[in-house]
Amino acid sequence: MRQRKLKGSQSGYRAALAPYSLWAMIFVLVPLVFVAYYAFTDNEFHFTTANMAKFFHSTSSILNADGSTREVHTYIVIALRSLKLAAISTLICLLLGYPIAYIMSRAQEKTQKIMMTLIMIPMWMNFLIRTYAWMTIMQDTGILNNMLAALGLHRIKLIGTETAVVIGMVYDFLPYMVLPIYSIMAKMDDKLLEAARDLGCNSLSVLRRVVFPLSLPGVVSGVTMVLIPAVSTFYISQKLGSGKFLLIGDVIEGQYAANNFHFAAAIALVMMVLLLAVMALFKYLTGHRMNGGK
């Protein structure tokens, strides 16, 4: 009888997973297959590795400070720049989002709802409007520089810099860091925190030894949800960066606009593999930390 109930529960579990599995197959797996197919074919849809070779071997000349020139791998440099800015933005989102999520999880229910609303309100606005708003704030004659001038301070150059792009990424993607961490922290058993304090831990030790290890699944989800869109973004870099430097999303968008779908797919495939490797390493390290370093 017990085995029948167990088999019945397993069958029900599989039946409940079926719609999600079908959704994932259609909208996740199938697009990835098409990306890989386009990446390894030419315009006549014959198999080729030329698209991959172009990504890894295309070079361009850049001018050094002393007036000399040197050859660099064009797309690799752009990919590394994209990863750098995305990593910086993700780290800032984590440093800002983790305390916010912790404060929300420890607050009263009414306060939690207010804070959640404040975090969600910017997401109700169109992404383009939010980006244009930051252009208004950071441009040379914008609100920020006008305030500095009114205070007798020097104006600062933000638009057209990597700093402006990072600010835009942090603003747009911060909620994706806060919400997963908050969802984990809100489910923590308060008895665990009380037990840690009874055993002599101060507030910092409780945060380091209890809260942070238990919240690592939320941290992993938040990092994933911020890092991936930050790497592939292109509108933020075009507007806040004034098109002065390319990110990998700009290159993919440009190749797509030029109807060069196969090379665009090759770039996207390389970045997907690279991001999967980075996230796998990050998940391994956090899993190692959760298991006490064993």
Q: What is the mean pLDDT of residues 181-200?
A: 84
Tokens 């797919």 correspond to 265
- Asked if 138 and 159 touch (Cβ cutoff 8 Å), the reply is yes
pTM of the model: 0.85
**pLDDT tens profile 195-228:** 888 777 787 888 888 888 889 889 999 999 999 9
DSSP readout, 190-201?
Answer: HHHHHHHHHTT-
DSSP 3-state of 62: strand
- Asked if 189 and 183 touch (Cβ cutoff 8 Å), the reply is no
CB 86: neighbour CB atoms within 10 A? 27
How many angstroms separate the CA atoms of 210 and 204, rounded?
A: 10
Centroid of chain to Cα 34 = 23
The pLDDT of residue 201 is 78
Confidence of residue 69 (pLDDT cuts 50, 70, 90): low
